[in-house]
Amino acid sequence: MKASEFGKVGVLFGGRSSEREVSIMSGTGVLNALHARGVDAHAFDPAAQTLGELETAQFDRVFIALHGRGGEDGAIQGVLETLRIPYTGSGVQASAIAIDKVFTKRIWETHKLPTPRYRVIVSSERAHLNEVADELRLPLIVKPPNEGSTIGISRVSGYSGMAEAFTLARKYDDVVLAEEFIEGQELTCAILGQGSQAEALPLVEIRAPDANYDYHNKYFGEATKYLCPAPIDAALSETIRQLSVRAYNALGARGWGRIDIMLSKRGEPFLLELNTSPGMTGHSLVPIAARAVGIDYEDLVLRILALATLEQRGSAQ
């Protein structure tokens, strides 16, 4: 598509979630890329501007660069469906499912897709916490299932750490997820498109300091290494890419997304989560994967924007 064919474009970023800071970084990058390519693009921050202003802006399409709640959970997607403004990324249902790691796992399990064993922690009582630790075996991961960017996550190595991890996760979510810890390589798979047209980009391996890919190492530190294509056997890489596309389609995702994976030391892949509005910062993984196949940042933004659509097409736009 030519720049003029996109019409007036809104770039939604900022918002009120715990990932606001990262969203501003992503949205600024997207906005600058669109301007560089001559697109009539405008910033829109739902935390500072009203839904009435979104309607009166008369955007022809929207690039969603919001992360976390309010932007990645189906909420803003529902607003855009109501206003009949085509938008990037997954629709209402897929967004709402994918942000919830518990429901994501349940769907993947019904499709016989591999994901780490897990338990929902329902009580802070020591006996219950110890029971969860015994079932999943230490070390394990405790996290709020509706947050991203490793916010509120803990790696627990002993029984004594369970209560503290539970308390931290509960600061961000009413539900707490305990997950089996998979030791091995941390991978991610970016996907563009929908259904049979969904395309998996080359895998990226993430090597963070002390295997701690936390908020700082994700977005601000320079010590994390990103290897793309990931240095693993070609046949295994292709298997993981196909598995990621199956997982993406199982949740009904569209447009673009990123599947996070752990590859165990035995060479077994385990699906962790689907991000339906991945980061687009200078450290982000989807642009890294795109560059490996000759798609620069600006081209990637245009390609994603070209896929903007509505989930419900029954009435005129």
Q: Is 35 left (phi over 0), alpha (psi -120 to 50) or beta?
A: alpha
Among residues 258, 277, 297, 311, the one annotated as catalytic is 258
Among residues 10, 15, 17, 19, the one annotated as catalytic is 19
Among residues 72, 173, 186, 273, the one annotated as catalytic is 273
CA distance 89 to 252: 11
Among residues 17, 18, 146, 149, the one annotated as catalytic is 149
The enclosing H or E element of 284 equals: none
Active site residue 298: no
CA distance 262 to 244: 12
Active site residue 279: yes
Among residues 279, 284, 297, 311, the one annotated as catalytic is 279
Active site residue 212: no
Active site residue 135: no
H helix runs in 260-296, sequence order: 285-291
Active site residue 160: no
Between vectors from CA 304 to CA 44 and to CA 29, what angle results, nearest 5°? 50
CA distance 140 to 203: 25
Instruction: Give the bridge partners for 199, in sequence order.
Output: 192
Active site residue 260: yes
Longest dimension (CA), the chain: 63
Contact status, residue 260 vs residue 266, Cβ threshold 8 Å: no
Among residues 147, 173, 186, 260, the one annotated as catalytic is 260
At 300 the three-state DSSP class reads helix
The pairing of strands 204-207 and 118-121 is unpaired
Among residues 87, 172, 213, 219, the one annotated as catalytic is 219
CA distance 218 to 220: 6
Active site residue 273: yes
Among residues 17, 26, 217, 275, the one annotated as catalytic is 275
| Catalytic positions, written as ranges | 19, 149, 219, 258, 260, 273, 275, 279
